[in-house]
Structure 1
Amino acid sequence: MKLYKVFSKIVLLCLVLSITLTNVSAKDEWVKIRSKNFQLVGNAAEKDIRRVAARLEQFRETFRQIFTRVNFSSPVPTNVIVFKNEKSFRDFKPVGDDGKPTDWVAGYFLGGEDVNYIALSTEGEKSYTYRTIFHEYVHYLVDNDIGRSNVPPWFNEGLAEYYEMFEIENDQKVTLGALNQNHLLLLQQNKLIPFETFFNVDNYSLQRQGHNSAGLFYAQAWALMHYLMQGNDGARSQQLNKFTVLVLNGKTPKEAFTEAFQTDYATIERELKKYVEQRNFRINIATFKEKLSFDGEMQSAPVTESEAKAVLGDLLYHADRFTEAAALLEEALKLDADSSLANVSLGLVKMRQKKFEEAKKYLEKAVKLDDKNYLAHYQYAYVLSREGMTEYGFASGYEVGQTQKMRESLKKAIALNPNFAESYNLYAFISYVRNEDIDEAIGYLAKAIKLAPGNQWYLIRVAELY
């Protein structure tokens, strides 16, 4: 996740506060669009929502064709909320330390264990709207397939910075490696971070850097990635691929760097300094044989006021804004008491508020309303597993009856959606706490790791079981 800084990047610093949210009025015409890989809902015009869906699908497809070895079958669904204007979007933007919405944010990506959210406004469609989303989506793909801790921050951030500049014309002509003029100017006005320091920055220290230091780090990561991919007509691009393979095979980043690039940090530092000072830069422009058109695969349907409130409430729940989420979800249930999503989300809010009896009632109702909803079954088991936990997430044990309910719910969730990795993980966690059926638990975790090989928590869980 990128740092909260002026280069159109955000960290979701969401506080629980009570404000008056924009009313989801029945006058707004909400619609949902299902594309090949995304579920979109919004009060924007249907043609605008379709355009957003097409842009996201085009980016994903381009990325898929470039990285043929990356697993793009995400175990977590991605929902997109498309607002028609800034006014309707404002109350659902991330909030800053002052509790106010960050008005300059035109779009953002919010990752989650059960669902990812993308939120944006089509009003004006500022140039950086998609850049932030593309950046975070690249992080999500890297995290899911490789694992953030397996690659150094300069690589992870550089890759995301590089591909966020993605552009496409006429659904067919793709530009990769477009210049980030802000980054280039910053590097030309400042000295490079010494590579011995630059390459030793880890995820923890990056998050603790000040605004100026972080800005320079991101700029340098972008420039290095651009140089390795495009510099000298792409002379080092194959070495970059080798570096990635070596890291994934267990080499330390420094060992992999030396072996892949056949040189030392000082040499690459000199090459990069010369690169950012030049006037002309190479970019890749590719034209696909056929247009990347996804409109024919999209399906649309109207959305009720209750559904709209439920979706927005769920977004706020995932942003840790529980008080506001509860208000919207309760309004949704007043309009439609049988809303499965509203019952699930409100149950999760109650869980976060330590009101477990209320939480279970909402989840039990959600399951009863929609027995085919795998997330309802999973979340019911999740709430049961959290009851009695310490604030640090430790569970001393589960009673037999409680265990049976959780396992039954998780087996139903797995049967309904065998590609949702968290169901396997939670099942294994229950076995770990009870210290029983360990072989079965390890088998479940193997399935979870196959779905999300980059998830470090699954590997840790395996180690705990052995």
Structure 2
Amino acid sequence: MLLSAAAAFPAKEPQWLRVSAPEFTVITTLSEKEAVAWAGEFAQFIGALQGFIPVNPQRLPRLTIVVFGREREFADYRPLGDDIKVQEVAGFFARRDSWAVAGLAKNDWNERTKATIFHEGTHWFLSAFELPNPVWLEEGLAEVFSTFAIGKKKISWGRAIEDHVMVLNELPPMPLEKLLFISEGSLFTGGEEGAVRTGMAYAQSWAFVHYLMFGQNDAPRGAMMAYVRALRTATHPDEAFRQAFGQDYATMDEKLRRYLRGGRYYVAERPPATLAELRAEPASVADVEDALARLCLGGRRMGEALAHANHVLAAAGDSAVPFELLGQVHLERGNRPMAQAAFEQAVARKSLDFRPYYEIARARHAGSAQPDGSLGDVSPVEARKIANGYERAINLNARYRPAYEGLAGVVELTPAGNPQDLAFLQQGVLLFPDNGMIRLGLAVVEKRDGDATKAAMLLNEVLESEKPQPVHVRNYAHRLETAWLERDVFGQTDALVKEKKFAEALALLDQRAAENNTLRFLRRVRVTRQNIQNTQRLEVVREAWEGRQWTEVRRLINEILESDASPVLKAQMRRRLDDLDRRGLGKPKE
């Protein structure tokens, strides 16, 4: 009877609370006291980061942390792996370009879960920088701060990571001259060798950052960021290293080896920061559904993400945010038409997320593209609309590379005299110096706005680059090279022909044909050369006609009829000859 009575009363629905901090929001089924305590710990973590590497909080992507009071509540939100199987993780952190989400259960808030959340939380924090950081710095800082801990009277970070110490003790360290230029693409490349290389890169990045932060290295405070800033100028990397750290690679390598052999790692300890008081309040349905939708997106649970996103739309009223979320869900589900419709609604509501503006511009761009990637007959007005969409997206997310690439691909058809195009693409080249497409876009704007010399320099930098570029970028570069050559050469010949400098125009064509022997160019040279010769012959005939030199006119016409002149010109000359015959002009005397 007792069992039957218990079954008659279903389990009580969890009560959701919301704790809002300036940099993040916690949505949780913890008790009020636990919720405030959990949010306070994460706020202290952010405070520790701000004390070491200050960032503008306004630039931080929106972060939502979902903390389930019971483990079974989290079970339905654990992420799916590549095999669509549930990953039995205690917590996870997922990031998108304009927001991030973390999910975990109270019972699983252990050392391993904390390390994951704090590591990824550091990456989220560092994304507030306008320019991307080198891999060694990002991963080194993330690993150092992954050991963040809070006690009753102090916070700490910098504890030695045993796995990294073991790797560094068993394998020779990677030279700094190699570590500092390791790329993200070289990590997680698969196979046993790739795993070893990745493990060493993480261990060495942690060790070098730890040494710079806490070791006796003679480097000035702020040397890490000074080095990064120097790299973003024209300073040679070796010189940037020497300027920032005050020593060369070999000297720093030896000091780092001694630090590692010492086996003692400093742990930073500070009193907790004084922060604004945090309060827990009941979470709205829209708050909860939004958080769960993003958690499902981050965990590849697309069906559940769509259901939660639709609940947000029903509960959140007429704002842009639910449409931004719904568009993102449809986009990741592969339904671009539905995503486009949602993003259009978000833009109509003055969205502050870059994604709707980018996706709308991208769709218009893709709809106008030809098989070779060119934009065909797109009008300047439409091209300007597409460019404006990309630029609005960049304004809202300055680090989103595809927006710069899209802008670079459309500015060729936009009207001249718009200085913002130049500013955006200059910023893109600064952010992504190895990106050939963005550099070509800047070349196009320089050419469009009248600086042919700078445009040619930028184009040649891509054509002659030692770093591999995608096929579509190489093809675009060659297409620009040919188009600009034709525009310059035939523009000059047209000007010479207008001045009746026919010999000079023909000489210019011959010279350029010898320098560039592409089939398309040579074909156009041949046609243009014939047209110039025809124009020259016509001009000679016209002058003789106006001078009433009928015998000379007849001679010139006969020369044209016997030459390789075009059929159209010959037909014109026959009509003139017939006219002379009817009028009896210029006939030889019998």
Residue correspondence of structure 1 range 440-459 to structure 2 within 5 A? 441-442=420-421, 445=424
The one-character-per-residue Cα deviations of 1:142-168 (angstroms, maximum 9, x if unpaired) are 4442633x53x2233222212222233
Aligned pairs for 1:161-176 (under 5 A) are: 161-170=143-152, 173-176=154-157
Aligned partners of 2:308 and 2:412: how far apart in 1?
Answer: 35
Which of the residues 430, 435, 441 maps onto 2:414? 435
1:203 corresponds to 2:189: no
Are 2:30 and 1:34 equivalent residues in the alignment? no
CA contact (8 A) 2:61 2:124 kept: no
> Match for 1:124: what amino acid?
D
Contact 2:148–2:155 (CA<8 Å) still a contact in 1?
A: yes
* Offset of residue 125 of structure 1: 0.8
**For the aligned residues, what is the CA RMSD?**
4.5
Cα distance in 1 for residues equivalent to 2:206 and 2:334: 43
The 8 Å contact of residues 33 and 50 in structure 1, kept in 2 or not, is answered as yes
1:218: how far off? 0.9
Match of residue 277 from structure 2: 295
CA distance in 1, matches of 2:436, 2:271: 40
Once residues 315 and 33 of structure 2 are traced to their aligned partners in structure 1, the CA distance between those partners, rounded to angstroms, is 28
Question: Of 181, 197, 215, which aligns to 2:199?
Answer: 215
Distance 2:186 2:361 in 1: 33
Where 1:73 maps in the other structure, the secondary structure is helix
Report deviation, 1:87: 2.7
Sequence identity, in percent?
Answer: 22
**Residues 89-133 of structure 1: CA distance to partner in whole angstroms, max 9, x if unpaired?**
24433433332233234232x222232223333223111333323
Q: Secondary structure at the match of 2:107?
A: coil
Instruction: For residue 113 of structure 1, give the secondary structure of its aligned residue in structure 2.
Output: coil
Question: How many correspondences in the alignment?
Answer: 421
**Aligned positions of 1:115-264 closer than 5 A:** 115-145=99-129, 147-148=131-132, 151=134, 153-170=135-152, 173-208=154-189, 210-232=194-216, 235-238=218-221, 240-241=223-224, 242-264=226-248
Retained in 2: the 8 A contact 1:30–1:42?
yes
Amino acid at match of 2:261: E
What is the identity, as a one-letter code, of the residue corresponding to 1:243? Y
CA distance in 2, matches of 1:431, 1:438: 15
Tell whether the 8 Å contact from 2:61 to 2:99 is kept in structure 1 after alignment. Answer: yes
* Aligned amino acid, residue 116 of structure 2: T
Listed as ranges, the matches of 1:300-315 within 5 Å are 300-304=281-285, 307-315=287-295
The 1-side partners of 2:417 and 2:159 are apart by 51
1:426 CA displacement: 6.2
Contact 1:81 1:117 in 2 (8 A): yes
Per the TM alignment, residue 313 of structure 1 is displaced from its structure 2 partner at its CA by 2.1
Residue 67 (structure 2) aligned to one of 82, 86, 95: 82
Give yes or no for contact 2:347–2:357 (8 Å, CA) kept in 1. no
1:99 pairs with 84, 99, 123, which one? Answer: 84
Structure 2 Cα separation of the partners of residues 227 and 404 of structure 1:
50
Distance across 1 between alignment mates of 2:267 and 2:21: 30
User: Alpha-carbon deviations, 1:308-342, whole Å to 9, x = none?
Assistant: 33432234335665444224434666788978654
In structure 2, the partner of 1:16 is none
How far does the alpha carbon of each residue in 1:358-377 deviate from its partner, in whole angstroms, 9 at most, with x for none?
44554566677xx47544xx
Aligned to 1:44: 30
Native 8 Å contact 2:168 2:200 kept in 1:
yes
Q: Which residue of 1 aligns with 2:249?
A: 265
Check conservation: 1:83, 1:121, Cα contact below 8 A: yes
Corresponding residue to 2:52 among 61, 66, 69: 66
SS in 2 for 1:165: coil
SS at match of 1:128: helix
In structure 2, the CA distance between the partners of 1:61 and 1:459, relative to structure 1 (3 Å rule), is: farther
Unaligned runs of 5+ in 2: 1-10, 446-590
Are residues 61 and 201 of structure 1, via their aligned partners in 2, closer, same or farther at CA, if it must alter by over 3 Å?
same
Larger Rg: 2
Helix, strand or coil at the partner of 2:111: coil
- Cα distance in structure 1, aligned partners of 2:436 and 2:282: 40
Q: 1:54 Cα deviation (Å)?
A: 1.8
Residues 154 and 310 (structure 1 numbering): CA distance in 2 closer, same or farther, change over 3 Å?
A: closer
Flag the structure with more relative contact order, 1 or 2, with Cα contacts below 8 A and sequence separation at least 6. 1
User: Which has the larger helix fraction?
Assistant: 2
* TM-score of the two chains, using structure 2 as the length reference: 0.58
Shift of the 433–352 alpha-carbon distance from structure 1 to 2, 3 Å rule, reads farther
Q: Write the distance in 2 (CA, Å) between the matches of 1:457 and 1:200.
A: 14
Report the equivalent of 1:283: 267
Task: Give the conservation status (yes or no) of the 8 Å contact 2:80–2:300.
Answer: no
